[in-house]
Structure 1
């Protein structure tokens, strides 16, 4: 077979690299050509090549102005701007309305010309970034400044991009919506992605690695329903360089963000928590997998109502799950069909207290059902704490090799709990035990009732 000559091969490779945009670009370019037949035609059929405007790969100069003018010309022609492989120094390039900036994944590299965002989008309807590498060169920046920042952008799409060596955050969004998909974030001093007051984001299929404080963060200035999706991401090696007992060290972090679905993510080696929901109502945490975290694997806390945590598998953590803080409004949850293994008591990260040892702890209108909890060093299932002891159910669970199988709080005196149809095996300190602030005060309630446990029904459990 004859080999293709070099120009032909380059043409085919370019077409393959940009083939994903042909369907969207073709009709737009054709429409633009009909309106302005005297304008130079886009190169190929894909868009305008930035090199025609003077953008030069490998140049030591700051090419921000050149890139800005090229984007403006491309948008005037309603065409994508194509950037060839190479290294380009830029800073604070503002994306115009409808900008579509497209590179070759892994080969088109924008690097920071100074300690500033590389690209900015402000108060526009839409913008798209595809196939770019954005490198902050680890230039330290304050607050949650991003390598790319979007503010009040209704539809911001970032796909097949790489964010590296951010002096703070990789991608920062405020009051914006859109899709962040198939991107890679690595070497962030703070977090990979920080969103404030989202208009609804789909964050799917991304890889997040080696972040100083958090992986993916969805926060709101006030509690609200934002309908974001966090699905199918890989999150690895999240530290808590800034310390604290919750704001940092989380793979996926929600604060006041309601109506969020977190599904099918895999997480490894998070300093504190795989997934933390603080004060987000109507949140679902479904089918995620985590291994090795230093505090609680799955957390729903403070002013939330209506959390569903189901079908997850978490291993090698201080505690499997915590659904807590009725005193701040935290209530109404389901913890179902999860597997929790090797929840072992240990020293808190950067702390002096011994924590953990529980499979799951719940408070206030909570159902714990159909779970398998194995090798929790202290307690398999913990029901209630002080005023959080209210309307709790533990049914149909399998609990193996633990201290206490099911711990049920006897504080306060008014309580309502059902512990039934569980299989509890090798619980060295008792299958079901009444406690006061964590201290056992009854014998095994599967063997004999105790008047101190009034309001707690214990029935039909298989104990071995």
Structure 2
């Protein structure tokens, strides 16, 4: 008899030839039942692939038995209609990637993990059937789970969110998310969560959200994900349309992600202090490529490649306490003035914009339609440095706000070429009011040091 590779795998995962229970399970006095080589076969508890009826009760029974025996639960290939099934403590469910489907039976979460120390899911495909759900209701919903591992799973057609995490730690790794009405991964008040190497596509409002109810240290890492085609179906002027969104969560690292085609922003940090945005690549967004805004203190935006935005990087909102930043060694191309999805008025055309206690250094900016680097805006301008940047093919190379009476900025050792309207210009509310400060000093620009720039 010829066996296919899939048949061999299925025999290994779901065969019942080896029915030996772990010693600790036998000692509990649990009735013996068939085990595969890797765990307990869910089919022994009445789960039938392809059945049209709701099989939530059968799956809940199988999970209870697997937990009692300390064994993983194995789900054979096929589709299972289930909903509201609760994961026991230390539960592991194993499916066949791309073959084992958990389909919502009634629009509610398919699986729920609540107030447990550990759970692990792998090889499962969740299907929400595009049934509308309450906001941030996930196909998989976890609350207060110490260590949750979700790997090699797929989430599709969620009525709101693919995965919702509340006060959870663990790893969300190498999963696929597609066609979410709202968001792929929504995590709030996390405990050093890791979200990495996931593929996220076609979401209504956001890709990954790392939030906190109150500002505080979060410690999450968002690394190596592919995020594409994020819309802004819910509207608004920033809460939607983001590839990756950090809100009030401090100490977050967002690193090495590939992001494409976001309605507003590739990566938006709102009020998260100590956030690092490192080595990401973003192409095509409707507003700001990288945003650190509102009540943040301490942000590092470094080594990113950004292309086709209204603004490459924006570090703003001194009026809400936004301050202390480094924007370094980024490549920003094609920042073009345009109307954002929430506005009819065009704006932007800036490579980098900063306001307070910020160092802008070592960046390469090409084709910013209006200004390569904007230092300050209106009165929001304090302790700024732009050094060692290369700026070419722009309207103004570097603009400096002259509105505040007390100001302090250094513009030095930059290379500026093909700046049509001047290399370094003083502005008031965005309007040029000085001559080119690389050619001659201007009394209106007191407090601004301009030195050793190479201009062509």
TM-score by length of 2: 0.96
Kindly indicate whether the alpha-carbon contact (under 8 Å) linking 1:29 and 1:45 is maintained by their aligned counterparts in 2.
no
Q: 1:34: how far off? A: 6.1
Q: How does 1:325-364 map to 2 (within 5 A)?
A: 325-364=317-356
Q: 1:397: how far off? A: 0.3
**1:12 to 1:422, Cα distance in 2 relative to 1, 3 A:** same
Q: How does 1:47-62 map to 2 (within 5 A)?
A: 47-62=39-54
Structure 2 equivalent of residue 217 of structure 1: 209
Separation (CA, whole Å) in 1 of partners of 2:337 and 2:11 = 56
Kindly indicate whether the alpha-carbon contact (under 8 Å) linking 1:291 and 1:315 is maintained by their aligned counterparts in 2.
yes
Separation (CA, whole Å) in 1 of partners of 2:21 and 2:299 = 47
Kindly indicate whether the alpha-carbon contact (under 8 Å) linking 2:237 and 2:342 is maintained by their aligned counterparts in 1.
no
Kindly indicate whether the alpha-carbon contact (under 8 Å) linking 1:82 and 1:101 is maintained by their aligned counterparts in 2.
yes
2:186 partner SS = strand
Kindly indicate whether the alpha-carbon contact (under 8 Å) linking 1:264 and 1:287 is maintained by their aligned counterparts in 2.
yes
Deviations 1:110-151 (A, max 9, x none): 111111000001111111110100000000012211111001
Structure 1 equivalent of residue 446 of structure 2: 454
Q: How does 1:264-343 map to 2 (within 5 A)?
A: 264-343=256-335
Q: How does 1:79-90 map to 2 (within 5 A)?
A: 79-90=71-82
Q: How does 1:409-428 map to 2 (within 5 A)?
A: 409-428=401-420
Q: 1:42: how far off? A: 5.2
Q: How does 1:116-127 map to 2 (within 5 A)?
A: 116-127=108-119
Separation (CA, whole Å) in 2 of partners of 1:176 and 1:303 = 25
2:422 partner SS = strand
Deviations 1:142-165 (A, max 9, x none): 221111100111111111000000
**1:151 to 1:327, Cα distance in 2 relative to 1, 3 A:** same
Residue of 10, 14, 22 corresponding to 1:14:
10
Q: 1:30: how far off? A: 3.7
Deviations 1:241-294 (A, max 9, x none): 111110000000011010000000000000000000000000000000000000
Stretches of structure 1 that go unaligned for 5 or more consecutive residues are 19-25
Q: 1:15: how far off? A: 6.6
1:141 partner SS = coil
Structure 1 equivalent of residue 61 of structure 2: 69
> Is residue 400 of structure 1 aligned with residue 398 of structure 2?
no
Question: Once superposed, which parts of structure 1, at least 4 consecutive aligned residues long, lie more than 6 Å away?
Answer: 15-18
1:246 partner SS = coil
TM-score by length of 1: 0.95
Structure 1 equivalent of residue 424 of structure 2: 432
Separation (CA, whole Å) in 1 of partners of 2:396 and 2:145 = 52
Kindly indicate whether the alpha-carbon contact (under 8 Å) linking 1:42 and 1:79 is maintained by their aligned counterparts in 2.
no
Residue of 121, 135, 144 corresponding to 1:129:
121
Q: 1:213: how far off? A: 0.4
> Is residue 40 of structure 1 aligned with residue 32 of structure 2?
yes
1:245 partner SS = coil
Q: 1:44: how far off? A: 3.1
| Residue correspondences, number | 452
Kindly indicate whether the alpha-carbon contact (under 8 Å) linking 2:358 and 2:383 is maintained by their aligned counterparts in 1.
yes
Kindly indicate whether the alpha-carbon contact (under 8 Å) linking 1:327 and 1:387 is maintained by their aligned counterparts in 2.
no
Structure 2 equivalent of residue 106 of structure 1: 98
> Is residue 157 of structure 1 aligned with residue 149 of structure 2?
yes
Structure 2 equivalent of residue 22 of structure 1: none
Kindly indicate whether the alpha-carbon contact (under 8 Å) linking 1:29 and 1:47 is maintained by their aligned counterparts in 2.
no
Kindly indicate whether the alpha-carbon contact (under 8 Å) linking 1:29 and 1:78 is maintained by their aligned counterparts in 2.
no
* Aligned Cα root-mean-square deviation (Å): 1.7
Q: 1:16: how far off? A: 7.2
Separation (CA, whole Å) in 2 of partners of 1:38 and 1:65 = 20
Stretches of structure 2 that go unaligned for 5 or more consecutive residues are none
Q: How does 1:236-251 map to 2 (within 5 A)?
A: 236-251=228-243
1:244 partner SS = coil
Kindly indicate whether the alpha-carbon contact (under 8 Å) linking 2:379 and 2:401 is maintained by their aligned counterparts in 1.
no
**1:48 to 1:298, Cα distance in 2 relative to 1, 3 A:** same
Deviations 1:41-93 (A, max 9, x none): 65232000101111000000100000000000001000000000000000000
